[in-house]
Structure 1
Amino acid sequence: MTEQVSGRCFCGAIRYRFDHKPLAVRTCWCRDCQYLACGNASVGAFFRRAGLTLEGEPAAYVSQAASGNTMRRRFCARCGTHLFSEAEARPDTVVVRVGTLEDREIGGPSSIIWAASAPAWAKLDPALPVCEGQPATPPEPPPG
């Protein structure tokens, strides 16, 4: 049986579904994510694009990230919910904002990235691995 992971924007105009669990989940403190998360870190779940089913048409904003990646950030034009980030360098991967998942419990972070950009008041989980900047792409999970 295939695992289904689903989510939506705040108003429900855009819904999505993946046929697999996330490859990885990271808390990101880069400055761009702080803007998108109202000053906090964002929590993003990495999925393979191949398993995505999308209902509705998100708007997009393209920008250059501090990592050098060209990023396409997709959001609901109706309610403004930020849904996805897509790096041009990783066309097979979609990063989903965990707050948009129906089951947010599957979105517990496994690492922290861009920690050097976090404000002094940020609380970083000492139990998680920390990367000061841009880490490597999450590996594919082993088959089975």
Structure 2
Amino acid sequence: MDYPLIGACQCGQVTYELHDKPLMVFACHCTECQKLSTSPFSITAVVDTAKIEFSGQLKSWERVAESGNRNCAMFCPNCGNKICHFNPDAPETVKLKLKPVDLSSADIFEPQAHVWVSEKLDWYHIPDDVKVFPKQPG
């Protein structure tokens, strides 16, 4: 795979360059991610902050997770696409929400685990060979 991988929001105002593969990719089935993605789950790629560069204007929104951790969401103010989120108290990683523009590299965003399956929609079936966690793994 050739790096950097380039990604963008729907309108193209926000872009990123990813300089290395994600540390982890997971599908989250919590009700907050169902709202975010307007689908049964949301895909998140955990990325080393030093390995990604963002360009463009971003807006933010913050909430407190069930764990007590702060969850700061960054999104494009034009098209509304969520770009990433992060915990301000753990700045070494960012949780990327956008896949790359080049679909030939999209396989690096295949989930390695499914989390918050306690809130999973009954009709979605998780593949047998993937790790599952009832809530957020420790």
TM-score (norm 2): 0.89
CA distance in 1, matches of 2:131, 2:89: 24
1:39-79, CA deviations, whole angstroms, 9 ceiling, x for partnerless residues?
42001111111122111021111001123211001111100
Identity among equivalent pairs (%): 27
CA distance in 2 between counterparts of 1:117 and 1:80 reads 25
Say if 2:127 is the partner of 1:128. Answer: no
Give the letter for the 1:63 counterpart: R
1:141 alignment partner in structure 2: none
Given that residues 71 and 88 in structure 1 are in contact (C-alpha distance below 8 angstroms), is that contact kept between their aligned partners in structure 2?
Answer: yes
Aligned residues, how many? 135
Gaps of 5+ in 1: 137-144
* 8 A Cα contact 1:6 1:15, kept in partner: yes
The one-letter code matched in structure 2 to 1:130 is: V
Aligned-partner Cα distance in 2 for 1:107–1:94: 14
Which position in structure 1 is the counterpart of 2:63? 63
For 2:125 and 2:88, how far apart are their aligned partners in 1? 30
* Offset of residue 122 of structure 1: 2.3
Q: Which moved more, 1:82-91 or 1:14-23?
A: 82-91
In structure 2, list runs of 5 or more residues that go unmatched.
none
Q: Report Cα offsets for 1:74-114 as digits up to 9, x if no partner.
A: 1111001111011234211011114x322322201101111
Do 1:32 and 1:65's aligned partners in 2 also have CA atoms closer than 8 Å?
no
Equivalent-residue separation in structure 2 for 1:33 and 1:40 (angstroms): 8
Which letter does structure 1 place at the counterpart of 2:130?
L
Helix, strand or coil: the match of 2:111? coil
| Superposition CA RMSD, Å | 1.7
More off after superposition, 30-39 vs 118-127: 118-127
Name the counterpart of 1:14: 14
SS in 2 for 1:83: strand
Please list, as runs of the form range in 1=range in 2, the aligned pairs for 1:69-80 lying within 5 A after superposition.
69-80=69-80
**Distance in 2 of aligned mates of 1:32 and 1:64:** 11
Please state whether the residue corresponding to 1:16 is helix, strand or coil: strand
- Find the counterpart in structure 1 of residue 31 from structure 2: 31
